[in-house]
Amino acid sequence: MDQQPHYPWGNAAHTRPQAAHSPGYAESAVAPQSPAKLTAQVYQHSHASLKWRAAKGSDGYIILRGSQPAAMQPIAAVAECTFVDTTTQPGRTYFYCVSAYNRNGKSRPCDYATVTLPSAHQSAPSGYTSSPSRSSMQPFQCASQAAPMLPQPPEPPAPPPLQAPKQLCAFAHGSRYIALHWQSLRNGAQYRIFRSESPWSDYAMVSETNETYYLDAVPEPMTNYYYFVQAVHNGHSSQASAMAEAKSFPPLPTPETPQNLRCIAQDNDTIELRWNPACAAAAYVVYARYDQAEEFSVLGHTLECTYMHKDAPQDSYVEYRVQAYHDTAASEPSTVCSCRSSNTPRSKCSASKRYPNLSWQGFK
């Protein structure tokens, strides 16, 4: 074939997928050759079975499929030279091609193969074999014993295939989060999110949602993550969406300790806390205790440099500490500010002081 099918999946950033090799593997090895002799056949009346010749120097193979040769999308990565596509729909024509890969890159896709699956009410094509039906194993009956043939209602048409989610976007949202967004398909559809650290294989489902967005908590900063999304509706699954890639941000510096913590008693048993902004802080956690013999416990979280402690016990002596944090690190706790709640507004709090013997558990 003179013209190779279009291969939209992958770019220059994907030319060195990671793969395991035995000791002594030659670092000067090149990308594998293209697979050859790809064939596609009907399997069990509703699936497609693929087979091809092994490519020299390959660690695995990427299966691409499309409704036409110029629009191929990856659907699986395998290590063997065979594959059965069980996500096909009756009565449709599919085009397939295969690309080999190793740690040095990927090959050009092989010449495509095509297969047309029979419709749901169509008999199996010639050469198709299956287990004999129960009725075919019954003894022959003469015409006088045969049951009358009644007209059968036509089978309902097969539902239209579920489209793959489109316009999948991924972008870093801090050093430990990747935000995803895609286009909605239809009401009631669910979406499965798959993630891998390699564009070629090892995708694992990380979540399932009814929304068209997802915030994924990733393991490491400064790491490339690859995603695709699959739609599910009424028991039917779509093809995988186009792949999206994002790199998590570098780890942020440890936030500074909040300074100048002060507390002021207000009306209605409310105590207001204030402090100076801490560098590199994304939020703050406020701790309180009512007895110096006890440990501090979490009182609440806030994005601002102020916090209102409502419904504080009347005429109680309360001690506070504040800690700054972001998604990967937390600061040391601030100095202690003590205050006595009162019905009299704006009572002054005692001076901030340090308690060196406190058993501080730290931010969790």
Mean pLDDT taken over the chain = 77
- Model pTM? 0.44
The domain locations on the chain are 12-19+30-116, 169-247, 252-364
For residue range 200-237, list pLDDT tens digits in order. Answer: 777 888 999 999 999 999 989 999 999 999 888 887 88
For residue range 97-148, list pLDDT tens digits in order. Answer: 898 888 777 888 888 888 988 887 665 454 443 333 333 334 434 444 445 5
Instruction: Count Cα neighbours of 266 within 13 Å in the Cβ-side half-sphere.
Output: 12
Which residues is 106 bridged to in the sheet? 101
CATH superfamily entry for domain 169-247 = Immunoglobulins (2.60.40.10)
Q: DSSP code of 115?
A: E
Kindly list the distances between the CA atom of residue 264 and the CA atoms of 89, 259, 271, 339, 343, in Å, as whole numbers in the listed order. Answer: 69, 16, 6, 7, 12
The CATH code for residues 252-364 is: 2.60.40.10
Distance of CA 131 to the CA centre of its chain: 40
Average confidence (pLDDT) over 21-29: 44
Is 2.60.40.10 the CATH number for 12-19+30-116?
yes
For residue 10, which amino acid is it? G
With CA atoms as reference, report the closest residue to 62 among 80, 40, 46: 80
User: What is the share, in percent, of the chain residues with pLDDT greater than 90?
Assistant: 30
Q: How far apart are CA 282 and CA 47, in angstroms?
A: 51
3-state SS class at 240 = coil
The predicted structure's pLDDT at residue 121 = 67
What is the chain's Cα-based Rg?
32
- Spell out the alpha helix ranges (H) of 185-290: none
- pLDDT confidence tier of residue 313, bands split at 50, 70 and 90: confident
The predicted structure's pLDDT at residue 330 = 92
3-state SS class at 85 = strand
Q: How far apart are CA 81 and CA 12, in angstroms?
A: 26
The predicted structure's pLDDT at residue 3 = 42
- The residue assigned the tokens 């992958």 is 10
Please, are residues 57 and 11 in contact by the beta-carbon 8 Å criterion? Answer: no
**Same CATH fold, 169-247 and 12-19+30-116?**
yes
3-state SS class at 136 = helix
- pLDDT confidence tier of residue 156, bands split at 50, 70 and 90: low
- The residue among 348 and 323 whose pLDDT is bigger is 323
Which residues is 178 bridged to in the sheet? 172, 216
